Amino acid sequence: MNLLHSINDFNEAKQVIPGGVNSPVRAFKSVGGTPPFISKGEGCYLFDVDGNRYIDFVQSWGPLIFGHCDSDITENVSKAIKNGLSFGAPTELETALCKEIISLYEGIEKIRLVNSGTEATMSAIRLARGYSKKDDIIKFEGNYHGHSDSLLVSAGSGCATFGSPSSPGVPEDFSKHTLVARYNDIESVKSCFKNSRNVGCVIIEPIAGNMGLVPAKIEFLKELRKLCDSYGAVLIFDEVMSGFRASIKGVQGYCDVVPDMVTFGKVIGGGMPLAAFGGKDEIMNLLSPLGGVYQAGTLSGNPIAVSAGLTSVCKIKKNPHIYTTLEALSKRLMEGFSKNAMRYSIPLQTCVRGSMFGFFFNPNEIHNFEDAQKSDVEMFAKFHQKMLSKGIYLACSQFETGFICTAMNETIIDEAIEACRSSFDEINRGI
């Protein structure tokens, strides 16, 4: 595969952008090689500046459930652009989008729109703290909620204790308010509550997609709900990735646990910078201008972003059956990968939730971050390179989730399965 133009572009980008990228995972650091520079997308395909075509299983890291250049979305965006790019004043579109989301997600009575998932979780936590009047928060090891200070905290010396900053630049003092629990381990959450006595909120990816795909067990979510109730803590489901992806109702399509707040992003923006947080009236009404908890944004609820998001969400609502098709395709892909792995005696764990899929080069089941980290990342790097050279664009880390879009079909999936087989074959033969 010829990547000459991409190699040049990458070198040039590195002169003016740290690492040549505007979000670190794009740099291919954990798999090596040069990231293809993209010139355009079309349906389920990506095209790079050297003219290579890829089947895209990243879909902009989740947002593009209808694939690239969906005609309804591009049409409505083009129309909206003609009316002006931004007003900094309310529009009817914003109300329409919030109504659609509220109609599908239980526990949400009001929503505020923001520009990124990071903003959504950061603001949700401020609001939860303002509501509960307690400063400590619990998050889970391996869950990602964007890059705000109090959420860039990892388990430090052990779970169920106060965390330590996972990035230079985050003051130790900030991380002292963040306790880190083990995913799918309710005892560790209980320890956090006991260690702190001042927990105002618990934030969780109920279907974790940022340590690879690792869903929370239903029983675990139920216990979590009970614990939050008994300690008076706000339960936030971070569905920035799983919302409108795992099902039309996110994790609520799999269980009846109702959180106090939900954060959204990715799919609700249809490919534009748009995210949201919502919850019960009692909590949301504390947000300014109604209440004292401050949150704002010059471009929040931007009319172009909202028109892309509203088109996506309305299209989903009109065609809820797409999730059946998408899940069947995810399953076909993962079953194909599994069969190939067995054939070449490669240990592989797979997982599917609606249009999300994940696989780990690991002989054991994955329930938490510790399990995920025992995966064979060198094997993943080799596999990723092989697949890319065969025109299959997978997320460039073992700890990411893959996405299916409606522009895919069984033929496309089977192409990817065959590329996987020949990749395993080459790896087995040491090529």
Ligand X SMILES: *Cc1c(COP(=O)(O)O)cnc(C)c1O
CB of 30 to ligand X, least distance (A): 17
CB of 151 to ligand X, least distance (A): 8
Is position 374 annotated as part of the catalytic site? no
Phi, psi of 379, deg, nearest 5: -60, -40
Should residue 203 be labelled a site residue for ligand X when binding is judged by CB under 6 A? no
| Omega of the bond leading into 289 within 30 degrees of 0 (cis) | yes
Is position 331 annotated as part of the catalytic site? no
CB of 302 to ligand X, least distance (A): 14
Is position 294 annotated as part of the catalytic site? no
DSSP structural state of residue 117:
H
User: What is the footprint of ligand X within residues 119-138 (CB under 6 A)?
Assistant: 121
CB contact at 8 A, 67 and 407: yes
For tokens 């991380």, what's the residue? 175
Neighbours of 321 (CB within 10 A): 9
CB of 142 to ligand X, least distance (A): 11
Nearer to ligand X, 117 or 301 (CB): 117
Should residue 141 be labelled a site residue for ligand X when binding is judged by CB under 6 A? no
Of the listed pieces 46-54, 205-213, 306-314, 390-398, which binds ligand X according to CB under 6 A?
Answer: 205-213
DSSP H stretches of helix in 265-351: 281-284, 303-318, 322-343
Should residue 205 be labelled a site residue for ligand X when binding is judged by CB under 6 A? yes
Give dist(CA 163, CA 143) in Å, integer. 13
Residue 258: is it exposed, middle or buried by C-beta count within 10 angstroms (0-12/13-18/19+)? middle
CB of 230 to ligand X, least distance (A): 26
Should residue 146 be labelled a site residue for ligand X when binding is judged by CB under 6 A? yes
What the block records as the tokens of 358 is: 């994940």
DSSP H stretches of helix in 205-279: 218-231
Nearer to ligand X, 36 or 243 (CB): 243
- Residue of minimal CB distance from ligand X? 117
Give dist(CA 275, CA 271) in Å, integer. 11
User: What is the footprint of ligand X within residues 218-257 (CB under 6 A)?
Assistant: 238, 240-241
Neighbours of 274 (CB within 10 A): 32
> Which is catalytic among the residues 238, 315, 323, 382?
238
Q: Which of 215, 265, 279, 336 binds ligand X (CB under 6 A)?
A: 265
- Between 410-428 and 377-389, two packed helices, what is the crossing angle to 10 degrees? 120
Should residue 400 be labelled a site residue for ligand X when binding is judged by CB under 6 A? no
Task: Give catalytic residue positions.
Answer: 144, 238, 266
Q: Which residues bind ligand X (CB under 6 A)?
A: 116-118, 121, 144-146, 205, 209-210, 238, 240-241, 265, 275
